[in-house]
Amino acid sequence: MFRPSILATLLLPLAMAVHAEVINIDNAELARLSASGAAVIDIRTAPEWKETGVVSGSKLLTFFDEKGQSDPAHWLGQLKSLTKPGQPVVLICRSGNRSRTVAQFMSQQAGYKTVYNVTSGINVWSREGRPVVPSNSPLVTCAAGAAC
């Protein structure tokens, strides 16, 4: 027979998954959410930010390094200086693949309730002629302790 504490431990991840949500969005929705003040987290690397620029108002916080390595616990610590789990978060990368992976991690394991994934990434944002700013612009924020 299960003890109540063991049962609660087994059901907690399931309960969190029920309330968590990853929403795939296009660039029009990114523009709307950004304009409404939602936190836009650009998870690309510094060389990528410098190459293409970033969405104005983005918060720069690399998840995967140039070798594809990550430290999710450290990243989450830095993320919490930018936004809290109860707030909606928009994730963007180059093409939408890395941000999809991170969005699933955030919603399933980190307690973030609403995470938006920009499915086409910064590449299509730029191709559509949407505005970008240099990564060192005062309109961009880096997480405390992050190398941006």
pLDDT tens digits along 109-128: 888 999 999 999 999 999 99
In a domain, 125, yes or no: yes
Residue 47's CB is within 10 A of a number of other CB atoms, namely 10
CATH number, domain of 83, equals 3.40.250.10
In a domain, 74, yes or no: yes
In a domain, 10, yes or no: no
| pTM exceeds cut of 0.75 | yes
- Find, among 83, 84, 47, the residue nearest to 64 by Cα: 47
- Find, among 60, 61, 59, 56, the residue nearest to 72 by Cα: 61
Mean pLDDT by 10 residues, the chain (148 residues): 43 49 96 95 96 95 95 94 90 97 92 94 97 88 69
In a domain, 63, yes or no: yes
In a domain, 1, yes or no: no
In a domain, 7, yes or no: no
Q: What's residue 14's pLDDT?
A: 47
Q: What's residue 90's pLDDT?
A: 98
In a domain, 55, yes or no: yes
Q: What's residue 109's pLDDT?
A: 87
In a domain, 30, yes or no: yes
C-alpha to C-alpha distance for 18 and 30, rounded to whole angstroms: 24
Domain count within the chain? 1
| Domain limits for position 52 | 15-142
